[in-house]
Structure 1
Amino acid sequence: MIDVLVVEDNRELGELLCDFLKAEGYQTALAPTGEEGLALARREGARLVVLDVMLPGMDGLAVCRALRQEGDLPILVVSARSEKEDKLAGLRLGADDYIEKPYDVDILLAKIRGIFQRRYERTALRDGDLALDRQRRAATLAGRPLALTAKEFDLLWLLVEHRGKSLRKEWIFDRIWGTDSFSEPQTLTVHIQWLRQKIERDPRHPARILTVWGVGYRFEGEVDEAL
């Protein structure tokens, strides 16, 4: 899953924006055409798209229309076109915001942070009798406190937050341990085993934290609810 997909035909500008986003902690990908951006969003998944309007081939408005027909993925349109009708066209197609080029990177990053905070940064999650409180960094199962280490809580939060989605081991490892080298695969395996011992009715036959062979793990949730 990509945090921010940048669809920009100016490679230098796109790479610069990706560098700023990475410094903020976001995982990024850059697509130079509308067709590649749409394919990447469909294949890898993205949490937000920064979309240039003036692209070769399939333009940004066509990409925006296609993405919006398929879901409610946040889309932030950027364009050198400053006319009122251009802005309205993007917003009518479902863009969450429209920024003129040249843009101030600090303002763009602030808008991206705002979208993530409103859309993704929950303070609590619930799945059936399992409840997680991010502010207190506490979890309960059937009303009873769970004794979780810091990494166990972070890992469980990540799995529940992405319930129903198959997550690659490398991506999980990068999110929790902060490296994409995946040099110690047993570290993740052991933490998954510990979590299963604490939240599964039968850890030998898990019903919540499932192994997806050849990929990683998937959390099978009961209820998708933010407290």
Structure 2
Amino acid sequence: MADILIIEDNAELAEVMKDFLQVEGYSVCSMASAEEGLAYLETNAVKLLLLDIMLPGLDGFAVCRIAREKFNLPILIMSARHGDESKIIGLELGADDYLEKPFSAPLLTAKVKAHLRRSYEMNENKLLLTDGELTVNQTARVVYRSGQPLGMTAKEYELLVLLMSNKGKALRKEWLFQQVWGADSFSEPSTLTVHMNKLRDKIEHNPKDPRRIVTIWGVGYKYEGI
């Protein structure tokens, strides 16, 4: 996992940017192609994307469009193309900023810091769900118990967020199933019970006597917390 992903086919430039950003304390990963970069984003939580336009295969504009549709993170385009046309295209596709090459290292780091601060620090409290030693970081989609990350499937994570976001409310099984699996899902409603039991195994002190997620007979489940 990296704070910043660089997609840049110029290996020398990518290495220079990586070095400067690491000096600032960021963890950085660099990829030389759009395909590699998108594959990395699919499996890793990244806070910011630095994206070149002129790439082999898919260009940076295509990556920007795909990344904006699928991932919630700041996107900074870097390009040797000067002029308004490329800037407008990039911004319309969802980029948060546009850096014209060549640019200085101080300008790069200043922009990175500004976008990270704007995107994460201001929203940090809104994107954290806490209950005792249990914390859900909705930005990174990671659940921690006593500071240690818990391995969760996507469905378990989505169930937990729904329950914690509606603390104290009795939620019907049918509603939970539709929210997580969708009305057109081929899964059986009993799947919800299986996932709820696995979730309890991970977050309850005593899964056989749950205190956080309680069953409301004839209705569904309620998150009580501790």
TM over 0.5: yes
- Correspondence for 2:63: 63
**How many angstroms does 1:119 deviate by?**
1.2
Contact 2:45–2:140 (Cα < 8 Å) also in 1:
no
**How many angstroms does 1:65 deviate by?**
0.8
**Matching residue's letter, 1:91:** L
CA 1:164/1:118 → structure 2, altered by over 3 Å: closer, same or farther? closer
- Correspondence for 1:161: 137
- Correspondence for 2:174: none
| Mapped partners of 1:103, 1:45: distance in 2 | 27
Q: Secondary structure at the match of 2:165?
A: coil
Note the alpha carbon deviations across 1:111-141, whole angstroms, 9 max, x for none: 110111111125646636x4xxxxxxxxxx6
Q: Secondary structure at the match of 1:50?
A: strand
1:223 is the counterpart of 2:162: no
- Correspondence for 2:151: 212
Contact 2:129–2:137 (Cα < 8 Å) also in 1:
no
**Matching residue's letter, 2:165:** V
TM-score (norm 2): 0.60
**How many angstroms does 1:44 deviate by?**
1.5
Q: State percent identity of aligned pairs.
A: 39
Bigger radius of gyration, 1 or 2?
Answer: 2
- Correspondence for 1:127: 129
Q: How many residues are paired up? A: 157
TM-score (norm 1): 0.60
Q: Secondary structure at the match of 1:46?
A: coil
| Mapped partners of 2:140, 2:20: distance in 1 | 31
**Following TM superposition, where does structure 1 have runs of at least 4 consecutive aligned residues deviating by more than 6 angstroms?**
none
1:88 is the counterpart of 2:88: yes
CA RMSD of aligned residues (A): 3.0
**How many angstroms does 1:17 deviate by?**
0.5
Structure 2: which 5+ residue stretches go unaligned? Answer: 167-226
- Correspondence for 1:39: 39
Structure 1: which 5+ residue stretches go unaligned? Answer: 131-140, 142-155, 173-191, 197-208
